[in-house]
Every structure is written in C-alpha cells, then in structure tokens.
Structure 1
Amino acid sequence: MDNKMNKRTLEMKKMHVLQAATELFSVKSYESTTMSDISKKADVSFGSVASYFGNKESLFAICIEQPLGEFVTRFLDFNLSPDSFVDELEKMIKGHIILFSKMKVYLRLIVQVIAQHERFPNEFNVVVQHTRLIQNGIAKFIRKGQELGKLMDGDSEKLSVAYVNFLFGTVLSYAFNPSQEEQDEFILIAIRMFGPII
C-alpha cells in the first residue's frame, strides 16, 4: 500500500513540475526560464526537478512531446459514418475550439517551437509529425463528406491545413478564451469553410 501511495505521490509531483514548466516556458520562453523558477512554481526542490527530468533541455522536450499523443487522439475523436454529417461537423468543430481553448498555454509553447525550429529541431520534427496526423485525419473526414455528397468538392489536404491554422489563429489571438458568443461565431465560420451541402 505504501509503495502505491509513494508512486502516486511521485507521479503527481512530476505532473506538477511538467505543468509549471510548460506554463513558464510558454510565458517566459525557454531561455528566460530556469530550473529554479520551475522548482519554485511546482513547489518541489531543485534537486527533485533535476532527478525527475534531468536538465532543462530534457524537461522542455518532455513538455512538448508528452501531451501531443493525447492531443491528437482527442482532436481526431469524430465519427466518419454519422447519422447526420452536418451535425457531426458542427460537433467536431465545437470540440476542437474547446480543446484548443483548454490547451492554450501548451499550444503557445508549440508555436514557439515552430517559430524557432532551428533552435529546437527535434521538438519541431515531433510537432510536424503529429500535425500531419491531425491534418490527414481532417482531410479523411472531408473526403468522406465529399464522397457522401455532404461537403462541396475541393482539395481536402489544403482545406485541412487551412482549418488547423484557423483554429490556432482564432484561439491563440485572444489573451483570454473567446466568449461563448464568439465561439459560436467561429463555429459558423468554420462550418462554412468545409462547404456543407444541406
């Protein structure tokens, strides 16, 4: 029982360190964030941060890579054979806007990696691989809608890229999350991007 508790406590501490590091890297930048800053924010000792994750470079890589798998899974959680394709499209877009809003701090960190791809080549490659999974999944959704005659014909790959960029732009351009009214407007704009045939 004690071993389970100790393991759980350790995992929670690691999670707090990752959350603190992600927020500091996102707000202050990689260069301006120190391991000491992270340990203070996570309320753990400096030595614990180092023993959990090694150096700052390793911790940064984990902050980038660890959430990506879950993010992609949640992003691609839509039905390719729904009863109503237009209803599924609206539900998918709404889910994406909520997901991006909840993960805004992390996504700002992703933008830093993209903007400084020469500084962070390994992290950049991981981000690109996962972005391709997202874009390919959306392109598949678009092609399915086109095959069913529910979406207008067009280049599914280019539309998927435009849609992902739309999500990044709309959510990350706000200091705070968009209001419900603004989210509803963005959903309508995104639906029009897909060209539903009603």
Structure 2
Amino acid sequence: MSAPEVHGTVFLYFPTKDALFRAAVTEPLRTLERALNVEQIEGTPLERLRQVARAHARFVVQHRDYLRLVQYVLGHYDRFPDLAQEVSALTDRHGATLVALIQEGQEAGQLVPGDPDAIALAYLGFLNSIGLVVNVGGSKDAPVWDAMTRLGIRIFGPRDMTEAIP
C-alpha cells in the first residue's frame, strides 16, 4: 500500500501545470518513436509492413490514453503550438519512413501502384482512428486487434490480398 500523494508533491518535480503537461506529452514520444521505428525490421517490404502494422496495433492498445493526449494536443494546435509541432515532427519523420517502405514494396511488385504519400497518410489516420474508437476494455488480446492489423496491412495495397493476413 503506497502513501497518499499530496497535491504539492507533484510541484517538487514540475514547477507549473504547464511543465507537467509538457512532460506528459513529450517524455513518452521517445517510446512512441521506438515503437514506430521500421528501419530495424528485416524482410521483404511487405513482410516489414506486416510487422509494422502488428507493432502499431499493439502500441495503440497499450498506450490508448497517451495517444488520446497526443490527439488532444494536435486538435488544439493554437493552444499548444510548440507541443503540436514536436508531435507533428515525429509524425512527419515516421510518415517519410513509411513512404519509402511503400515505394520499395511497389517497386518490388508486392504492393499495387498508388501515391505512397497518400497511402502513408491514410494508414496514419487509420491508426489514430482505431485508438479513438475501438474500445475493448484495454484488452490487447481481443480478436478485434488482429482484424485491425489485417485492415492496416490492406491500406498498403498488397498485390495479393491473401498477403494481408499476418
């Protein structure tokens, strides 16, 4: 049993509410960036995209509260311009990595032709959406997450749709 937290204790570590909020948004960004890192994954472009989709779905279910906080910041860009810019920079870096991987898959003939930028944007939008609307009580083992992974893979446009099944 832990001792009760006194309101003032928080301010020993964070001088203001704004500093606390900033830390709550920015400190987990490094964890998010590691979860989104596709450069360390090996295999064909489609195999890598499958692994990425699985990792992303797992991250979404395990960090839903944090993702909602990030979405709040992005939705209130005028109120949190510095934080929103920091989060957007991460999204831009990750989006560029996805675009390169999608192009690689298209060039290898594993993915149908299409605009890699639009595909990456649609996929990132899909991730944000499932974080908001899929409610399974936080269970990362719910079958819906396997279905979400398959749908995420389909956004990339595998030439053979049976390839969308992880």
In which range does the TM-score fall when normalised by the shorter chain?
0.7 to 0.9
- Indicate the residue corresponding to 1:139 in structure 2: 99
Counterpart of 2:78 in 1: which secondary structure? Answer: coil
Write the deviation string for residues 65-123 of structure 1: whole angstroms up to 9, x where unpaired: 111122012112455651x4433322221111001111100011111111111111111
User: 1:196 and 2:158 equivalent?
Assistant: yes
Work out whether residues 78 and 92 of structure 1, in 8 Å CA contact, stay in contact via their aligned partners in 2. no
> What pairs with 1:132-171 in structure 2 (closer than 5 Å)?
132-171=92-131
- Indicate the residue corresponding to 1:56 in structure 2: 17
> What pairs with 1:19-168 in structure 2 (closer than 5 Å)?
43-77=4-38, 79=40, 82=43, 84-168=44-128
Work out whether residues 80 and 144 of structure 1, in 8 Å CA contact, stay in contact via their aligned partners in 2. no
Write the deviation string for residues 114-148 of structure 1: whole angstroms up to 9, x where unpaired: 11111111111111111111211111111111222
Bigger radius of gyration: 1
Write the deviation string for residues 49-68 of structure 1: whole angstroms up to 9, x where unpaired: 11211100111011111111
Work out whether residues 117 and 124 of structure 1, in 8 Å CA contact, stay in contact via their aligned partners in 2. yes
Unmatched tracts of structure 2, length 5 or more:
161-166
Counterpart of 1:64 in 2: which secondary structure? Answer: helix
Work out whether residues 171 and 177 of structure 1, in 8 Å CA contact, stay in contact via their aligned partners in 2. no
1:102 & 1:91 partners in 2: Cα distance?
17
> Structure 1 residue runs of 4+, over 6 Å off?
none
- Indicate the residue corresponding to 2:144 in structure 1: 182
Structure that is richer in helix per residue = 1
Q: Which amino acid aligns with 2:16?
A: N
Question: Which structure's relative contact order is higher, taking Cα pairs within 8 Å and 6+ residues apart?
Answer: 2
| Total equivalences in the alignment | 157
Work out whether residues 78 and 88 of structure 1, in 8 Å CA contact, stay in contact via their aligned partners in 2. no
Identity of aligned residues (%): 26
